[in-house]
Amino acid sequence: MTVDDAEEASPYQGEAMPVAAVSKNAFPGSAARARPRRIIAVGGGKGGIGKSLLSANLGVALAREGARVLLVDGDLGGANLHTCLGMPPPSVTLSDFVQRRVATLEEAQVSSGVENLRVIAGAQDVLDAANMRYPQKQKLIRSLLATDVDYLVLDLGAGTSFNTLDFFLVADIGVLVLLPEPTSVENAYRFVKAAFFRRLLNVGMEMGVADLVEDALSTRDGNSLTPFTFISRVKRQNPEAGAAMERELTTFRVQLVVNQVRTGADAHVAQAVASAWKKFFGLEMEPIGSIPYDDDAWRAVRKRRPLLLESPDSPAARSITEVARRLLTLPGPPSAGP
Amino acid sequence: MKPYQSLNYFELLEVPHTATTEEILDAHRRQQEMYAPDSVALYVLEDTTQVEELRKLLTEAMEFLSDADLRAEYHQQLGLPPPGARPEAPVQPPASRAEALPPPRPAPPPPAPVQVEEAPKAGRESSIPGDEGVSAPAVRVRESRISRVEFSPDAEFNGELLRRIRESRGVSLQAMVDRTRISTRHLESIEADRYKLLPASVYLRGMLMSVARELGLDPARVARSYMDLAARASGPSSP
């Protein structure tokens, strides 16, 4: 059993507080500090749905728009972002920073070969970063938040481990990737719900109802709760806490990208998910793109070249560029200037 | 934070208050497709009866908002400027109040052309092959002006009328295919009154009843009426 698994079993084990709570409040004057203008996290709950492919190519697209971009492989234990970029196995990785073999995140960065785009490769050794302990995670997140670039793109791993959820929650822009298939939709929902409940844990602790959130996270009954049903339950017991959680729900926003779209019906999946999850669960999803299934994308991966460089005119590459442009127009965090 | 049960008609259809009737019908068509029973987006819903309920609400929303009189009344209830008024200062519905109260759902509308109203959906599974087990419920006639397609109480339900009713409900042919599990080819033949291409009457009857149920019409009456027309057209032996 890894530390991560232990964390899953009990929200508190090994952690006094979810990282999101600390990090969001850690830099009250953050507008004045060096920090990324935007942190974009790319998650999706399921493996093999194109998170790394999207992250790598978003990085390329944003860099080509003139932004200074740092791509970070946050897939702790299954890192392969460097492969999507056609880079050789990196000499220095995220785990060198986590294990203090290098002192700063700067030293863990390598060039991607694309102008304006630097990369922090993921841990090659499964045991290191995947089992990152709480203080290490704190330090990593603080360092990421203090990186002086225009865009920090975090490629997240599969699953709903606390490390992954916390990286998703510190981002200014959370991008959820899903495929138009039941398994992917299921995992995506689990992922978003877990992230939201993780965020509620902060409110729960502030309002003295952490136990309610914990129950929802750890019991079978809690498993079937939607954000709506959970919050109405809290409201009955503690109207004030319920209202605070309701505010969290209205500000919790996830950008949705549907990948490997094959049919006309698939193209509407993003809209349908956004509509249904809002009406049934209260989750605000913003569809920002559908990426067609494209043999060029597959060939680019086989060639270990970023799609945007290998086949820039392919339908998938064009869609990813559009997603990048959408991301460029999204409003940033309230604390940071434009 | 509003679950679908407490959304107003505009929010349900995801249209602005200024939407034209055409936009409302369009939105309804889109929503019906999104909430088709096999939609992958709905895969994570534990309670699928909610989807059914939402689909009914969407149709109700479309029916009210596409009727000029009902819509004007509804605007009044929500405190909106009358429909069609040039919005100089667009009035937002007061969000906090809308949240506290259930959404204003209009009271039963005033009387209008008589229309045969919906029959219970029982026996849906068994309705396609020989439907003798499905006893036709007594025709319940209710005063309503839900449908924009008007027809007299003794109207003959030919394919043309069925198509017009379907379209007035914002149900696409594909949505009808999805819901009734009748093939596109058969549905098209039914609506085009291509009697020769239709399946044997025992199957046809089941199909007609399914279609009628989806349209909120009396299944037995629709089937009888349509099959009378078909019989008259194909032979001189009229009833």
DSSP A2-57: -HHHHHHH-TTTT-SS-HHHHHHHH-TTGGGS---SEEEEEE-SSSSSSHHHHHHH
Taking contacts as CB-CB distances below 8 angstroms, the residues of chain A near B43 are 182, 185-186
Q: Are residues B126 and B223 in the same domain?
A: yes
In degrees, to the nearest 5, what angle opens at C-alpha B140 toward C-alphas B135 and B142? 160
**Contact (CB, 8 A) for A241 and A202:** no
Of B39, B74, B100, the domain-final residue: B100
A182 in contact with B at a CB cutoff of 8 Å? yes
Residues spanned by the domain of B190: 114-234
Mean per-residue pLDDT for B192-206? 82
Interface A-B: count of C-beta contacts within 8 A: 55
Could you write out the DSSP letters of every residue in B24-46? HHHHHHHHHHHT-TT-GGGTT-S
| Mean pLDDT, range A151-162, rounded to an integer | 90
Q: Which CATH class is domain A35-176+294-325?
A: alpha beta
Per cent of chain A over pLDDT 90 is 53
Q: Which two tokens stand for residue A128?
A: 């290191």
Name which of A189, A249, A272 is nearest B39 (Cβ-Cβ).
A272
* pLDDT of A74 higher than 70: yes
pLDDT by residue (tens digit) across A108-140?
999 998 999 999 998 776 555 567 788 888 899
If asked whether residues B136 and B80 sit together in one domain, one would say no
What is the pLDDT, as a whole number, of residue A75? 84
Please report whether residue B29 resides in a domain. yes
Whether residue A13 contacts residue A124, with contact meaning beta carbons closer than 8 Å, is answered with no
**Is the torsion defined by CA of A26, A31, A36, A40 positive or negative?**
positive
List strand residue ranges (DSSP E) for chain A, in order. Answer: 38-43, 69-74, 110-111, 117-120, 151-156, 173-178, 253-261, 284-292
pLDDT, tens digit, 9 for 90 and up, residues B75-94:
998 899 988 765 444 445 44
Is B198 in the same domain as B138?
yes
Going by C-alpha positions, the residue among B218, B238, B230 that lies closest to residue B165 is B218
Mutate to test the interface with A, among B11, B13, B32, B34 (most CBs of A within 10 A): B34
| B35/A182 touch (CB, cutoff 8 Å), yes or no | no
Q: Which of A206-210, B11-15, B129-133, B152-156 has the lowest mean pLDDT?
A: B129-133
Beta pairing partners, A318 = none
Total number of domains constituting chain B: 2
Instruction: Say yes or no: B95 and B203 in one domain.
Output: no
Q: Answer whether residue B239 is part of any domain.
A: no
How far is Cα B174 from Cα A195, in angstroms, rounded to an integer? 37
- Over residues A274-296, the mean pLDDT reads 93
Rounded Cα distance between A326 and A289, Å, is 9
B58 → chain A, closest CA residue: A279
| 3-state SS, one letter per residue, for B91-139 | CCCCHHHHHHCCCCCCCCCCCCCEEECCCCCCCCHHHCCCCCCCCCCCC
| Residue B65: per-residue pLDDT | 94
Choose between B200 and A238: higher pLDDT. Answer: A238
* pLDDT digits 0-9 by tens, B116-167: 444 443 333 333 333 333 333 323 233 333 445 667 777 888 999 999 989 8
Q: Let me know whether B28 and B80 are in one domain.
A: yes
Of B20, B18, B27, B148, nearest to B82 by C-alpha is B18
Portions of chain A given CATH number 3.40.50.300: 35-176+294-325
Residue of A nearest to B45 (CA): A280
Look at residues B74, B100, B126 and tell me which one is the last residue of a structural domain.
B100
What's B154's domain CATH number?
1.10.260.40
At B3, give phi and psi (nearest 5°): -70, 165
**Residue among B34, B42, B46 whose CB faces A224 most closely:** B46
Question: Is residue B118 in some structural domain?
Answer: yes
Note the pLDDT of residue A95.
86
